[in-house]
Amino acid sequence: MELLIFYPLAGFCVVLALGVVFNNSPVGSALSLIGMMLGLAGIFVLQQAHFIAILQVIIYAGAIMVLFMFVIMLLNLKKGDDMGWVARDKNLLLSVLTGVLAIGILYKISDILFSAKIDTPATLPDSFGTVANIGETLFTDFVLPFEVASILLLAAMVGAVVLAKNKLD
Amino acid sequence: MLEETVPLSHYLMLSATLFVIGIVGVLIRRNVIVVFMSIEIMLNAVNISLISFDHYMNLSSGQIFSFMVMCVAAAEVSVGLAIIIALHRNKPTVNLDEFNLLKW
């Protein structure tokens, strides 16, 4: 039953990810990326990681993609700005590199697929992936990384303001 | 007859596929914004792996890790887009090949 939900969702995500890479207009890419994030949120729900799924929708599909759309509109990007990559210099090197990467990783995938002894899942308690469970781990074992993350976000906020300011005085 | 649950290998395959798509995007596209979006695809692919291992071993540290990945992604996007705006102000283009000041 889960497989019947998994395959369409996974196919949806892969197709939209390809849409991000091979779309002519940046706005189309951004919209495909939003769709992919929502599909991934569905996959996280399938894995019973509800809290992460909600965060995926709020942070990625909400906040980050709004930022992307905002910058695309601000820079006034036209359709087909950069499709010169087809006839680019040194494109051969990039094609070979991409091919090697893709083949290597596909080989690794088939390795995983045909030798998998890890497919039997642990029995999950009802509390798996809930806010209470994640919060307990976050505020006991991972309290220091949590605080460091808050400092990182503060630094990023200050950095973004300083970088995007018109004149440094 | 279909199995009850999705095998771990399927999640790992999805993750690897999305990661390859992200790498291909970084390598072949020259639009700064699209390259940036491809990096986001790669971060998401890693999140799938983390959470599926979590799901199969009944841990919660993987979910904390993907939470941290989201924090770093948010910070990276805000600073990166600010850099793109500053670059665009200096040189009105988004083509990465034209930014070659630091190339030797």
Distance CA B44, CA A148 (A): 21
ipTM, interface predicted TM-score of the complex = 0.90
Residue A42 to chain B, least CA–CA distance (Å): 11
Domain boundaries, chain A: 1-78, 130-169
- The pair of three-digit structure tokens given for residue B32, joined into one six-digit string: 């700064």
pLDDT for res B10: 85
The answer to whether the CB of A44 falls within 8 A of the CB of A58 is: no
Please state the separation of Cα A93 from the chain's center in Å: 27
Tell me what the mean pLDDT of segment B28-38 comes to.
88
Interface residue A155 vs chain B (CB under 8 A): yes
Indicate whether A39 pLDDT > 90.
yes
Distance CA B102, CA B104 (A): 6
Tell me what the mean pLDDT of segment B33-57 comes to.
92
Phi and psi at B31, nearest 5°, equal -80, 125
Domain boundaries, chain B: 30-93
pLDDT for res A119: 62
3-state secondary structure of B17: helix
Only one residue has tokens 């996974």, namely A10
Q: What is the pLDDT of residues A50-94, one digit of tens each?
A: 999 999 999 999 999 999 999 988 887 766 555 545 545 566 777
Q: How far apart are the first and last CA of chain A?
A: 62
For residue B14, the chain A residue with the least C-alpha distance is A10
User: Inter-chain contact A49–B95, Cβ cutoff 8 Å?
Assistant: no
User: Inter-chain contact A6–B3, Cβ cutoff 8 Å?
Assistant: no
User: Inter-chain contact A160–B63, Cβ cutoff 8 Å?
Assistant: no
What CATH number is given for A1-78 in this structure?
A: 1.20.120.1200
- Give residue B57's pLDDT band: very low, low, confident or very high (50, 70, 90): confident
Distance CA A155, CA B47 (A): 24
- Name the class of domain B30-93: mainly alpha
CA-closest candidate to residue A32, choices A41, A23, A42, A43: A23
DSSP labels for B46-93? HHHHHHHHHHHHT-SHHHHHHHHHHHHHHHHHHHHHHHHHHHHHHS--
For residue A138, the chain B residue with the least C-alpha distance is B64
pTM of full prediction above 0.90: no
With vertex at residue A16, the alpha carbon angle to CA A99 and CA B81, rounded to the nearest 5 degrees, is 85
Distance CA A76, CA A90 (A): 29
Helix (H) or strand (E) holding A119: none
Indicate whether B1 pLDDT > 50.
no
H helical segments located in chain A: 2-22, 26-46, 50-55, 65-75, 91-114, 131-140, 143-164
Indicate whether B2 pLDDT > 60.
no
